[in-house]
Structure 1
Amino acid sequence: MKLLKGIWIGFWSGLVLGLLLKWIQSVTGEQVYTLLLNVDFIPVIGDVQWSEITEFVFHMIISLIIGVVFVYLAKRRNYSFGQLVIISLLMSAPFPFLYFLLSWLAINADVPAITDWGAFLYWVFAHLTYSLLVPILYKTFERKNAVSQ
């Protein structure tokens, strides 16, 4: 049950993150969605011209893993919602820094510059949304399971 719950949480939060960044990119022109999906710097994988859907699947796999790890940590104790938010924020602490790393590593993709503070703020906003959505989804699924039992 933990695995399935983690997969669902990772799926929905990853979907929201991806769609939010795609929307931000379409409205502002900042290439934050492109940055999220870019894999051109990864050996072997980066040599292939992947479709947007395939690159989105790569993003979703990472989100599924994060969801499963979160549920595993959350199930270890009976945490309050506030404690779950803190766990999620701690797990998400590297996300803002990934902006700089991914911008720097990009080879051919049209991604924002490391010094593009507007794009960085959009990136942080979207990932903060993701980080807050994870414990909300966890509690939502917990309530639905309690009702159905």
Structure 2
Amino acid sequence: MKQWIISILIGSFSAILMGLYFYLIEQFTGKQLYTLLMNIDFLIELGKVNIWIAAFEFFLHTLVAIILVRVYIWTINLKKITSKDKRMEWAALLAFLAFLTYFPLTTIAKTDTPAITDLAAVFDWFLGHVIFFFVLYYGVEKLLKKNKSSIRG
């Protein structure tokens, strides 16, 4: 149960920070990274954008972040990873895998999103996932330290 609470807290916080970062990028540059982050039009047609649809899309984004945090905690516990360097590598791997979603999401999106070859957009997408990495790694590390190096149960 503790792992789920931690996953919800860290996942929600990272989702909010990433969402805010991509929203600001979109507002200031016009590059539709927030649109890409929230985009689910390839899964289901939701119709016109309204507050409920936007909230649902953000909920799905947050849910993915929570699941990634849960996978991270599960992995470091299952493999009994005590080395901070190894935990950092796992956090970086998860964040990098999340970053790689830029390419398939851009390709299958029906909504206008940045081009797959837009290097500035790819770099901004990368920076957004660096934010996720820092929140994931340092958030869990802080809680590991607080809970005497183990997040079980």
Give the TM-score range, shorter chain: 0.7 to 0.9
Mean CA deviation greater in 30-39 or 19-28: 19-28
Q: 1:3 matched to which residue of 2?
A: 4
CA distance in 2, matches of 1:96, 1:144: 29
Q: 1:71 matched to which residue of 2?
A: 73
Unpaired runs of 5+ residues, structure 1, are none
Give 1:5's aligned amino acid: I
TM-score w.r.t. the length of structure 1 is: 0.86
TM-score w.r.t. the length of structure 2 is: 0.84
Equivalent in 108, 133, 136 of residue 135 of structure 2: 133
How well do the aligned residues superpose, as a CA RMSD in angstroms? 1.6
1:3: how far off? 1.9
Unpaired runs of 5+ residues, structure 2, are 149-153
Q: 1:22 matched to which residue of 2?
A: 23
Q: 2:151 matched to which residue of 1?
A: none
Write the deviation string for residues 64-94 of structure 1: whole angstroms up to 9, x where unpaired.
1111111111223252322211001112332
Write the deviation string for residues 49-76 of structure 1: whole angstroms up to 9, x where unpaired.
3622211111011111111111111223
**Runs of at least 4 residues off by over 6 Å:** none
Equivalent in 109, 124, 127 of residue 106 of structure 1: 109
The count of corresponding residues between Structure 1 and Structure 2 is 142
Identity of aligned residues (%): 27
